Amino acid sequence: MDVLKGRFRVSRVVFDSWYWSEKLVTDNVVSELKSNRRLLRVESVQGTLEEVEGHLRVGDLPPGVYYADLTLGDRVVTVKLLVREYKRDSGTHARYLYTTDLSLSEEEIEEAWRMRWEIEELHRDVKALGLEDSSFWRRERLQGYLTIFTIMTNVVRELVGELNLRSVEAFLRFVERHLGGPPGLMKIFKLR
């Protein structure tokens, strides 16, 4: 992380809830907490303090905005915690977003999380297209791959939207079902 911060202007670090570690949870972090994460102290943004003596879990909090103390290794870290409910086909779920930058607004925290989710979707699409497995020994090869990858990903995402499909996986099923899969596509391109 320090190498990246040394080479790039990093405004926020965003990562998945699985990565709660002293190396990653530093300044300018936006991430998600698991619902079973224990809290040492919770205070609503309005200022009402609740001493919880380590028994309350993040999932026990109602929707709202809080300042919370959590353990991180042998130290205590204070975070700004957003508890949000959202609806899915399977019912109502909660998301527990946090930041170590206590000055961030709710909107800034949610926007940073949305950007992280777009990266997740990109990785999922890369895997679905079979492009995740490649090695690069020369800079030109890497640049060529990235160019082809970017073009292909953008074309496929455009087709997903045009065909009113939900995902790249749905597009691949569409190609298989209606066009005979990759061999059928190759025939179509050879005919033109």
pLDDT in tens, the chain (192 residues): 566 556 666 566 666 555 666 666 677 788 888 888 888 888 777 766 655 554 588 898 889 899 988 888 888 888 899 999 888 778 888 999 988 889 989 998 888 888 777 777 777 776 776 666 555 556 666 677 777 778 888 888 888 898 899 888 888 888 888 877 767 766 666 654
Q: Are 85 and 92 in contact (CB under 8 A)?
A: yes
Residue 84 phi, psi dihedral angles, 5° rounding: -125, 140
Q: Distances from the Cα of 59 to the Cαs of 42, 46, 97, 113, 167, in angstroms?
A: 13, 20, 12, 19, 30
> pLDDT at position 134, please?
57
Is 24:17 a contact under the CB 8 Å cutoff? no
* Structure confidence at residue 92 (pLDDT): 85
Q: What is the structure's pLDDT at 7?
A: 63
**Which string of DSSP letters, residue by residue, matches 122-138?**
HHHHHHHTT-S----SS
Q: What distance in Å separates the CA atoms of residue 8 and residue 28, rounded to the nearest whole number?
A: 14
Rounded Cα distance, 129 and 131, in Å: 6
What pLDDT shows up at residue 66? 93
Alpha-carbon dihedral angle through residues 88, 94, 95, 99, given to the nearest 10 degrees: 150
Output the pTM of the full model. Answer: 0.58
How high is the pLDDT of residue 17? 56
